[in-house]
Amino acid sequence: MAVRSGFLDRRPVLVGLVFLGGCLGTLMRAEIAHAWPALADGVPWATLVTNLVGAFVLATLLEVLVHAGPDEGIRRAVRLCLGTGLLGGFTTYSTLAVETGQRVMSGHWLLGITYLLTSVAAGAFLAWAMITTVRAAVRRRSS
């Protein structure tokens, strides 16, 4: 597989953008979790809302970028910084797994399983809804 000319020269910048976005996303998530702590026997609202907002925004961002043109130049930089970095750091499926396990292991298994299934299903639905919405807007705009 041939490497495109100049790709390796830009790679540190792209990695830096992912790092920068990831730092910001992680800080945002930490602030939300600090402001909205989870109770051991309740719904971890901070994680649920964070992951749902992340799914919604990521689907919107990626669908807009797909319709804007090829994944190169500024579009690639935006995708890596905001999509992979910021939203990757913002969302937290590892915390979802830990919080689900905590609820199940403490005897609140119905809450844990409901929380897990709601998180995944609602996230998938929001992503699908935004992809569909952006596609419809692009079709209307081009007609």
What's the CA gap between 121 and 56, in Å, rounded? 12
Residues annotated within the binding site for Na(+) are: 88, 91
pTM over 0.75: yes
**pLDDT one-digit tens code per residue, 3-52:** 555 554 668 999 999 999 999 999 999 999 999 998 878 999 999 999 99
- Tell me which residue of 106, 103, 127, 107 sits closest to 115, measured CA to CA: 103
pLDDT band at 143 (very low <50, low <70, confident <90, very high): confident
What's the CA gap between 143 and 139, in Å, rounded? 6
Residues annotated within the binding site are: 88, 91
